[in-house]
């Protein structure tokens, strides 16, 4: 009511109206206020009858993130543009049924035990060969078919501190689940900074038997707003001089090559649509490549991986991480499925920037190690920082 009265008072001040509308959206999008511990709200239930909860995290600067217990999934990410107008910048669905349907292309989920591909679904560890589901013929993709981390229900522990609000999701993947060895205890922490439009995602895991682990978030971004055109006008900069070439099934050959002189050179800010035709006729059908991040040059804990900007809104996303690689995927398999608010998710309507170890690392000893052993702790962190140009 107060916002409506103020909007009437400032009826001729369009800038003030935009600010007031942003404030209204901030407080209308959930029941938890800044500074309070997030509370659970129902997001429905799975087809098997399992209840699913969703939590809302907020910053004082206008960012709103919603995360759910199915798949420890990022469902909404509302971010202001240069004029203060808030829009949801990631793909997803309005209910659990959408996430359980064949329309879901891993939108916003926690991906693993091993994200990306494992060649022919096989690896050998400590003298034993393991066989995994072939769900991306002829390879294994994103942790499996029915009990991969994106499809299970996680336990949630919301919290708040002087720096902001968070939710810690936890799940124990039992020995043999989806063919992987060891009981894997996994935690995923989503945290929104109080004073900045920052979202931090941290992954922690321990095991009682040696097992490969490679975790990421599979958010699909369109900084103009979800369902609002393609990402071809977005500008991307990657802190990567090299990439890992792949065969025709998108499995790394083991080589590491320079991006110089190729369509994969994003060392300077480059419009995504500028050279995408050069990779459209390849097996990747566009951009679907792992980039080798350049080493850190300072003492900060995170390494800058990518900067993504969108001209019409002015939104800017900077990604920093502890991971050695980042997968840039240009939404090549999006086909117009209906998502949140009835929006159509068209071909190349969003992109993914997945921080990770390299694909199929378990079968490439020359790549950074992905094997977690008993007594060790997997610890990975990625920061998504939003601003405007």
- Which candidate, 39, 53, 38, places its Cα nearest to that of 153? 53
Distances (CA, A) of 88 to 15, 85, 156: 20, 10, 23
Tokens in use for 230? 């393609």
Q: What CA–CA distance (Å, rounded) separates 77 from 56?
A: 10
Strands 337-338 and 344-345: antiparallel
- Which candidate, 244, 211, 245, places its Cα nearest to that of 358? 244
Is 354 one of the catalytic residues?
Answer: yes
Q: What CA–CA distance (Å, rounded) separates 9 from 21?
A: 14
Is 218 one of the catalytic residues?
Answer: yes
Q: How many Å is the Cα radius of gyration of the chain? A: 21
Cis peptide before 138 (omega within 30 of 0): yes
- Which candidate, 305, 320, 168, places its Cα nearest to that of 238? 305
Task: Count other C-beta atoms under 10 Å from residue 34's C-beta.
Answer: 16
Q: Which of 140, 142, 218, 357 is catalytic?
A: 218
Distances (CA, A) of 161 to 172, 196, 377: 26, 14, 24
Distances (CA, A) of 203 to 92, 159, 217, 316: 21, 16, 10, 24
Residue with the two structure tokens 């891993």: 106
- Burial zone of 369 (CB within 10 Å; 0-12 exposed, 13-18 middle, 19+ buried): exposed
Q: Which of 168, 289, 354, 357 is catalytic?
A: 354
Tokens in use for 88? 């949801």
Tokens in use for 21? 């509308």
- Name the residues annotated as catalytic: 218, 354
């Amino acid at each position: 009511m107060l916002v409506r009265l103020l909007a009437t008072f400032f009826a001729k001040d369009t800038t003030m109206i935009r600010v007031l509308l942003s404030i209204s959206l901030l407080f209308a999008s959930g029941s938890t206020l800044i500074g309070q511990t997030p509370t659970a709200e129902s997001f429905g239930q799975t087809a098997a009858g399992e209840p699913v909860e969703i939590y809302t995290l907020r910053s004082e600067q206008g960012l709103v993130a919603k995360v759910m217990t199915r798949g420890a999934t990022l469902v909404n990410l509302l971010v202001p543009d240069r004029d203060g107008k808030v829009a949801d910048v990631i793909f997803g669905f309005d209910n659990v049924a959408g996430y359980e349907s064949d329309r879901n292309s891993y939108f916003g989920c926690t991906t693993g035990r091993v994200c990306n591909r494992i060649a022919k679904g096989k690896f050998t560890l400590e003298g034993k060969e393991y066989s995994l589901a072939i769900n991306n013929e002829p390879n294994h993709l994103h942790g499996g078919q029915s009990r991969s981390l994106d499809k299970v229900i996680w336990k949630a522990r919301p919290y708040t501190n002087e720096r902001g609000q968070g939710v810690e999701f936890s799940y124990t993947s039992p020995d043999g689940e989806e063919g992987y060895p060891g009981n894997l205890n996994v935690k995923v922490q989503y945290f929104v900074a109080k004073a900045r439009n920052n979202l931090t995602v941290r992954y922690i895991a321990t095991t009682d038997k040696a097992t490969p682990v490679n975790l990421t978030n599979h958010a699909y971004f369109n900084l103009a707003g979800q369902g609002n055109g393609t990402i071809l006008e977005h500008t991307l900069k990657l802190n990567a001089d090299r990439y890992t070439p792949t065969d025709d099934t998108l499995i790394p050959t083991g080589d590491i090559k320079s991006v110089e002189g190729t369509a994969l050179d994003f060392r300077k800010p480059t419009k995504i649509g500028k050279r995408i035709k050069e990779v459209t006729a390849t097996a990747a059908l566009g951009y679907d490549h792992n980039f080798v991040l350049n080493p850190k040059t300072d003492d900060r804990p995170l390494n800058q991986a990518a900067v993504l900007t969108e001209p019409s809104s002015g939104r800017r996303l900077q990604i920093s991480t502890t991971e050695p690689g980042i997968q840039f995927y240009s939404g090549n398999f999006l086909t117009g499925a209906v998502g949140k608010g009835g929006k159509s998710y068209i071909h190349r309507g969003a992109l993914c920037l997945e921080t990770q170890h390299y694909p199929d690392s378990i079968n490439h000893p020359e790549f950074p190690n992905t094997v977690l052993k008993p007594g060790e702790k997997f610890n990975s962190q990625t920061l998504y920082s939003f601003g405007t140009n």
